[in-house]
Amino acid sequence: DIVMTQTPLSSPVTLGQPASISCRSGQSLVHSDGNTYLNWLQQRPGQPPRLLIYKISNRFSGVPDRFSGSGAGTDFTLKISRVEAEDVGVYYCMQATQFPHTFGQGTKLEIK
Amino acid sequence: EVQLVESGGGLVQPGGSLKLSCAASGFNFSVSAMHWVRQASGQGLEWVGRIRSKINNYATAYAASVKGRFTFSRDDSKNTAYLQMNSLKIEDTAVYYCTRHDILTGHYYWGQGTLVTVSS
């Protein structure tokens, strides 16, 4: 199984300031079709996960442009340019390149 | 709009069985693989497995933690996927999400989840 490791596990951020979460996979996430199926999910308190970013850097429909994803191979980053109150929750990276699909431990974003 | 609606969760005793349903709409269900992911309270996400479409012979894949106890099925005429859970253990207690990974776009869709509690 591909192990996904996120850092930090907790991120206290001041409103309006940037935030960054890193995700490292135990092996390359490049699929045989050439795509890299690395996604970022947001889970607000009491809500199901929702897709933020797919295939490393593509924002899903309705996701604000303050969210951005980057990376390649085994190292990936989610950045929030200016944190807003509604961004509070847990963020997960996940890989859908290989079965079983696996998830990072989650990073809890909270407001200072 | 893609919608996934799970149902069938509840309280069951250890060793018991439960069958979850996932009603899908907004996409071509019959050609889509359907996945299940679970989340224990306050914990992270665990992929449970998936069932592929008829053209892929309804092939299934299971996480090691549920293999031999859980079974996926689907009824394409009803746009519904199922998760039959047998020999349930306390550690199976979780919210179960029905999900869809659209391999063409890379999108990963989630339902609202249904809670399964295994307790005596």
- pLDDT (tens digit per residue) in B37-64: 999 999 999 999 999 999 999 999 999 9
Which amino acid makes up residue A69? G
Q: Is B104 exposed, middle or buried (0-12, 13-18, 19+ CB in 10 A)?
A: exposed
Q: What is the pLDDT of residue B106?
A: 87
Prior bond of A8 cis (ω within 30°): yes
For A39-48, give one letter per residue: b (16+ CB within 10 A) or e.
bbbbbeeeeb
Strands B70-75 and A75-80: unpaired
Model confidence band, residue A46 (pLDDT cutoffs 50, 70, 90): very high
Q: Is residue A37 less than 8 Å (CB to CB) from chain B?
A: yes
Instruction: Quickly tell me which residue has 């797919």 as its tokens.
Output: A54
Alpha carbon distances (Å) from A111 to A11, A18, A82, A84, A88: 8, 12, 12, 9, 7
| Candidate from A35, A54, A94 with C-beta closest to B107 | A54
Residue B70: which H helix or E strand, with range?
Answer: strand B70-75
| Candidate from A48, A58, A106 with C-beta closest to B106 | A58
With CA atoms as reference, the chain B residue closest to A9 would be: B44
